[in-house]
Structure 1
Amino acid sequence: MKKHKNIVVFLIKFFATYFILVTIYNFYLQNSQQKEGGFKTASITTLVAHQTESLLEFFGYHVDALQHKKELSVKLLIENQYTARVIEGCNSISVIILFIAFIVAFSGSIKATVLFSLFGALFIYTINVVRIAFLTVLIYKYPERQEFLHNLVFPAIIYGCVFLLWVIWVNKFSNYKK
């Protein structure tokens, strides 16, 4: 068992952190979203949609981010054309939780772990807003490519960034670095 101690410690830290953060996030969602009496998405999801709207407007697009009346999503309209929607899974929080759980499981010093988690989460969040904006424009221009873009290209961007951050963490900051 001593031989596998590092693996067991990693798994315990990973799943404990993941479970705690997911529990907190689910509590937040239960108290932030609304289905009865009109739909209202969680404030973080709405914020991501509005930041996407602002980014696209900065680049000259006329964009509206509107609460969907029939589901928990925010519709993104470019030039009054319903182009995309932002749902809870698009707000990057689930990915950030996974990222932080890994960083904690492969922890370094407390200071490095906290700082890398915070700056990494901010980086992932920012990349996600840019990713949604880019996806929205590409779907607006190439609607026939929507499935390919949404299901393959754009998950690769967010998960590729997370993987890159993990590699940097393990090789530069964690206690497991060589």
Structure 2
Amino acid sequence: MNSQVIKFIAKALLIFILWYLVYELWLLPEGSLDEWVSLNIIGTSAGFLKWIGYEVFTVNRFIGIGEYPGIEIVDGCNGIAAMGLFLGFILAYPGDWKNRISFSILGICAIYLVNLVRIITLTITQVEWPQFFDFTHDYSTTTIFYLVIFILWMVWVNYSDANSFSADSKAVA
């Protein structure tokens, strides 16, 4: 196996372990980051749902429509863990730090927006197509969520490699 691949895997694994420890041992028990992100997603989703004509209610981390029970944004569903996974890939893969930071911010915003669409979709599905709620929650929205993370990482790999190649070409010339 190529030493660059081994280096990437080792770096990614170390970053994931560090992220896991920081998140599980400090951020999650402390709770304010998860609470803030969850409430932000609830508020933004509620605003959008009201804008398109639904009668929305929110209570703490719950969002719902009309008389339906609503859905709860628990810590595992607010996107923070996925953002950490995305950042691990970006930080482990070579690239210019300025570009890496810019792309990380862009990627976190994209993941946030995908999660927002996910929560809106789940809230509407509970009302409009309740028979599809479990499937939508367990498979389709989660698959799309992680597919977006993978696509973002592939964009970074191609972008980083293209910039690395052009920087190497300039250095040689």
User: Per-residue displacement from partner, 1:89-124 (whole Å, max 9, x unpaired)?
Assistant: 111111111111011111211111111111101111
Q: Conserved in 1, the CA contact under 8 Å of 2:68 and 2:126?
A: no
Amino acid at match of 2:54: Y
* Unmatched segments (≥5 aa) in structure 2: 166-173
How many residue pairs get matched?
Answer: 163
Q: What does residue 24 of structure 1 align with? A: 22
Q: Note closer, same or farther for the CA distance 1:174–1:98 as it changes in structure 2 (3 Å cut).
A: farther
**Structure 2 counterpart of 1:153, from 133, 140, 150:** 140
Distance in 1 (CA, whole Å) between partners of 2:51 and 2:19 is: 34
**What SS does the corresponding residue of 2:69 show, helix, strand or coil?**
strand
Q: Give 1:139 shift.
A: 1.8
| Kept after mapping to 1: 8 A contact 2:122/2:137 | yes
Aligned with 2:53: secondary structure? coil
- Flag the 1:176–1:9 CA change in 2: closer, same or farther, 3 A: farther
Q: Does 1:52 align with 2:52?
A: no
**In 2, Cα distance between equivalents of 1:135 and 1:81:** 12
1:107 counterpart SS class:
coil
Provide TM-score, normalisation by structure 2.
0.84
* Equivalences for residues 27-42 of structure 1 within 5 A: 27-32=26-31, 42=35
Most deviating of 24-33 and 139-148: 24-33
Amino acid at match of 1:32: G
Structure 1: stretches of 5+ with no match in the other structure: 34-40, 68-73
Is 1:10 aligned with 2:2? no
For the aligned residue pairs, the C-alpha RMSD in angstroms reads 2.1
* Contact 1:45/1:86 (8 A) holds in 2: yes
More helix per residue: 1 or 2? 2
Task: List, as ranges, runs of 4+ consecutive aligned residues in structure 1 with deviation greater than 3 Å.
Answer: 174-178
Percent identity, aligned pairs only, is 26
Offset, 1:64: 1.4
Correspondence for 1:116:
103
Q: Per the alignment, in what secondary structure is the counterpart of residue 60 of structure 1?
A: coil
The Cα offsets for residues 73-92 of structure 1, whole Å up to 9 and x where unpaired, read as: x2222013213221111111
TM-score by length of 1: 0.82
